[in-house]
A and B are shown apart, each in its own frame.
Chain A
Amino acid sequence: MIFRKNEKKPSNRLWIFLAMIGPGIITANADNDAGGIATYTIAGAREGYSMLWALFLITIALIVIQEMAGRMGVYTGKGLADLVRENFSIKTTFITMILLIIGNLTVTIAEFAGIAAGFELFGVSKYVSVPIAAFLIWIIVIKGSYRAVERVMLFFCVIYFTYVISGFMAGPKWDHVLKGFMVPTFKFETDYINIFIALVGTTITPWMQFYLQASVVDKGVKREKYNYLKWDIYLGTFVTDFVAMFIIIAAAATLYVNGINVDSAEEAAIALKPLAGNYAFILFAIGLLNASVLGAIILPLSTAYAVSEAFGWESGLGKKFGDAPRFFWFYTIVLLAGAAFVLIPGIHLIFVMIFSQTINGILLPIILILMLKLINNKRIMGDKVNTLYQNVLAWGTSVMLIILTALLLAGMIYPRSLDYITEMVKRI
């Protein structure tokens, strides 16, 4: 008999992979958001190339945690908040959601602060740039299908390469880069430890677990395609940390070498101008803008997904506003609140940043433990629970992250606490 050929389905593996690309790459890249870039810049400016080796740790941590979220999404067909609601008490769900909403709101504010700062580098007032950016982001998400929004975000992921170029333009000493990459160095000094903690901490965030799993579900990734998703996650993590490396290199080759200290990414961009030329400055500024915009799309979205799942509201980018009103309203409110906050005249964002780190610092251990409990539950995951090896890796990563987060919180609440710890370590 003659069988009709299937609809133009590319049997070619590369094609399938290209179609699967999305959740992993976007989530990993969005981790390099406004706050992340500031952290990498400061690390490069203060410590030169010496922290590059930490990117190894970050890459492993990111892969371990992201793979778990992706696997749960594919094999249960449910988002993380869905699973938390169905398997833990309603109190746990509620507290997690409240923390997540507050935490995500503060991060959204940081993203819009990044947008404002990025445009101000080009001489555009924040009172113009922020409302326009907020409106454009809103329209894309409200009107776009999952696929359309994903494509927009993938486009933003490509722009990250401006950092790679500006890294090259900074003219780094490649032998130093290699040494910083290969030779782990660690100083038992408060400042150094603080930056180190921030570096690892900026990579693994509560919102990304919710976003990755929800987007895997919204995209409708099938079980048979799980291996492609895994590669999407690996590739995304690799690309993300490759970009992070070049941010550190750009800052180290210019600011560190000349002994210029910076406290933010926009300061770094301005300082780049005389050192690496106007183009390097422009590329660096575009990179910051791009990262902030991607973050400003993804954070409200992650919040809307999670809250809708937990409370059982209709959700999904493919739906019309009227079919999933609460999902889109939530998204709208978080987006607008984040944008509006930045526009308050004379606002000091430093308090918001500290508050943001605190809330997310409290939430992260909770989320990691919930995830580990879920992924090891046979009733939920069937035979796809963590293997012993995966568990050792996952628990190890989580414990490390929780310790670092605890140190970060301790350092914020009681700045001298790190000094004591380093003193103790030195005595040993």
Chain B
Amino acid sequence: MYLVGEIFLSEVIGKKIYDREGESIGKLTDLVIRLGDVFPRVVALAAETAKNETTVIPFENLELFNRSTITTVILKGEVNGRQILENEMLICRDLLDKQIVDITGAKVVRVNDVKLGDVKGNLCLIAADVSFSGIMRRLGMENVSQDIMKLFGYKKAPDLIGWNYLQPLQTTESSLTLNVQRSKLSELHPSDIASIMSQIPHRERAALFDTLDLETAAEALHELEPDAQVSIIHNMDKEQASELLELMPPDEAADLLGDLPEDKAQELLNLMEADEAEDVQELLEHEDDTAGGLMTTDFLSFPPNVTVAETFKNLRLVAPDVEMIYYVYVVDDNDKLLGVLSIKDLLVSHDNSMLSEIMQDQVKSVSPDADPEDVADMISKYNFYAIPVVNDDGIIMGIITVDDIVDLLIPPASRRKTQRI
């Protein structure tokens, strides 16, 4: 079948479909697309017959499909209503006028019109029009609006976003298939995902979240407001939730568990790997509004009697699992804090020097029950990226990183909705 270059959905909806002999089959009401490829292929047409019944015509039965004419190669009587399959969507029903996520702008937009085009000989959904001119086109007033635009010296092309940068929000019957597709949302920065999450209704949050890969999900989860975190964790299956918690830095996992009902939290802790769970457990015992409640137990520690070269060798092994690698803390066998080194110190030192020779042994630290405000003051005064938390016996318990402090002082936008009284 010969395809036209590009059509807007609004240009063909409502058009009459004729059979081989010129008999009218009905009016085009919707297009059925199959998900899976980058650009979903149009596989069938939904039409409303004269008797107000809906019939579905497979795309391969079409002879012509363009702005002015839609004809089939079969006869009216041969059209037998095909079913809509599991991995198929209806454009008008499921996409048009709905909100979708625009990955390029990291925001939620509304689909005003849909552009169809030729991809390798198939008619595919290639882009969504999210501009106001899309609305005007649907209302049949495109020319009017363009004339008005011209008055003001605007020459506006439709605001098209390629389908490869879009992800539907709506949890339709075919939401299962969305999970099969590689989630486009995962390409975004976790903070952007969180801000999108905060813009959409709760009901759609969990569904969208399910499309993320675990790694991204763990990072995004932390950025969300506590209420949203709790509802998402609640709606996940336990195995998955515990895996998610393992992937999160222990301090964030502890924050989250602290917001859950105690029995649920305990259950998830038991499902987690022993040493991860232990870290989180320790952190849970601190009051929220103290240094102990802010710290993470993930930090790099080395004994004093190793060389710089050995340190680097080990660093490569452990660094992937550690959030803050700028500082190396030097501790004795009992975890007593002896000194600190920055990565820069290590880089500029000789390979054979011992850590004890080059370390800074006057370490600034805070106690576990210090006030977060004071911690912030320290971090800001000394320009640290992190500060160790040390108990009365000089044992290092954890570190507080600068981003946790910044979040405390300036909550991320996605969390600002929640009010603390």
- Chain A contacts to B: CB under 8 angstroms: 1-8, 10, 15, 18-19, 76-78, 82, 85-86, 90-91, 94, 145-147, 219-220, 222-223, 311-312, 314, 316, 318-319
A94 to B420, Cβ gap below 8 A? no
| B binding-site residues for A, Cβ under 8 Å | 97-99, 107-112, 130, 132, 135, 138-139, 199-204, 226-227, 254, 258-259, 262, 265-266, 281, 284-289, 293, 413, 416-421
Q: Determine the distance from Cα of A85 to Cα of B199 in the docked complex, in whole angstroms.
A: 17
B421–A90 CB distance below 8 A:
no
The residue among B111, B286, B413 with the most chain A CB atoms within 10 A of its own CB is B413
Chain A residues closer than 8 Å to B226, beta-carbon distance: 7
From B202, B254, B284, B420, contact of A2 by CB (8 A) = B284
Q: Is B135 touching A4 in the complex (CB atoms < 8 A)?
A: no
- B418 cross-chain contacts in A, Cβ below 8 A: 220
Specify which chain B residues have a CB less than 8 angstroms from the CB of A91 in the assembled complex.
139
Q: Is the CB of A311 within 8 A of B284?
A: no
User: Closest B-chain residue to A309, C-beta based?
Assistant: B110
Contact: A5 with B288, CB < 8 Å?
A: yes
Cα-based distance from A209 to B201 in the complex (angstroms): 19
Which secondary structure dominates where chain B touches chain A? mixed
User: Which residues does chain A contribute within 8 Å of B419, judged by CB atoms?
Assistant: 19, 147
Contact A222 B284, beta carbon cutoff 8 Å? no
Contact A222 B202 (CB under 8 A): yes
Q: Contacts of A78 on B, CB cut-off 8 Å?
A: 201
On whether the beta carbons of B421 and A19 are closer than 8 Å, the reply is yes
Residues from chain B with Cβ under 8 Å of A15 in the complex: 421
Beta-carbon contact of B266 and A4 below 8 Å? no
Interchain CB contact under 8 A, B417 and A220: yes
B421 → chain A, closest Cβ, in Å? 5
Which of A1, A8, A18, A94 is in CB contact (< 8 Å) with B284?
A: A1
**Residues of the A chain whose Cβ atoms lie less than 8 Å from the Cβ of B416:** 145, 318
Q: Are A318 and B413 in contact (CB under 8 A)?
A: yes
> Complex Cα distance A2/B421, Å?
25
**Quick one: given A90-B138, A311-B132, A311-B135, are A77 and B200 in contact (CB under 8 Å)?**
yes
Judging by beta carbons under 8 Å apart, are B413 and A8 in contact?
no
Contact assessment for A8 and B201 in the assembled complex, using a CB-CB cutoff below 8 Å: no
Tell whether, in the assembled complex, residue A4 and residue B286 are in contact, meaning their CB atoms are under 8 Å apart: yes
A311 lies within 8 A of B110 (CB): yes
Q: What is the bound-complex CA distance between A311 and B133, given in angstroms?
A: 11
Give every chain B residue within 8 A of A3 (Cβ-Cβ): 258, 262, 265, 284
**Set of chain B residues within 8 Å of A312, measured between Cβ atoms:** 99, 108-112, 130
If A7-B226, A85-B97, A90-B97 are given as contacts, then 12 extra A-B residue pairs at C-beta distance below 8 Å, sorted by A number, are A2-B284, A6-B288, A10-B421, A94-B135, A145-B416, A220-B418, A312-B110, A312-B112, A314-B199, A316-B199, A318-B413, A318-B417
Chain A residue with Cβ nearest B107: A314
**Docked pose: A6 CA to B293 CA in angstroms:** 11
Contact partners of B98 in chain A: CB under 8 A: 86
Return the contact of B203 from the options A8, A77, A94, A311 (Cβ within 8 A): A77
Task: Determine the distance from Cα of A8 to Cα of B287 in the docked complex, in whole angstroms.
Answer: 11
Our pick among B107, B108, B201, B285 for the contact of A76 (Cβ within 8 Å) is: B201
Contact B203 A6 (CB under 8 A): no
Contact check, A85 vs B417: say whether CB atoms are below 8 A apart: no
Take A86-B97, A94-B139 as given contacts and tell me if A4 and B417 are in contact as well, using a CB distance cutoff of 8 Å. no
Determine the chain A residues whose CB is within 8 A of the CB of B200 once the complex forms. 77
Alpha-carbon distance between A78 and B254 when the two chains are bound, in angstroms: 32
A18 closest partner in B (C-beta): B421
CA gap between A311 and B110 in the complex, in Å: 7
Given contacts A90-B135, A222-B227, A311-B110, contact A5 B287 (CB under 8 A): yes
Given A94-B139, A312-B99, check contact A1 B281 (CB 8 Å).
Answer: yes
13 pairs across A/B with beta carbons < 8 Å?
Answer: A1-B281, A2-B285, A4-B254, A10-B421, A18-B421, A77-B200, A77-B203, A82-B99, A85-B97, A90-B135, A219-B417, A222-B227, A314-B108
Contacts of A314 in B (CB 8 A): 107-108, 199
The answer for the CA separation of A1 and B260 in the assembled complex, in Å, is 14
B residues less than 8 Å from A1 (CB atoms): 266, 281, 284
A4 x B109 contact (CB < 8 A): no
Contacts of B259 in A (CB 8 A): 6
Please, how many angstroms separate the alpha-carbon atoms of A87 and B370 in the complex?
54
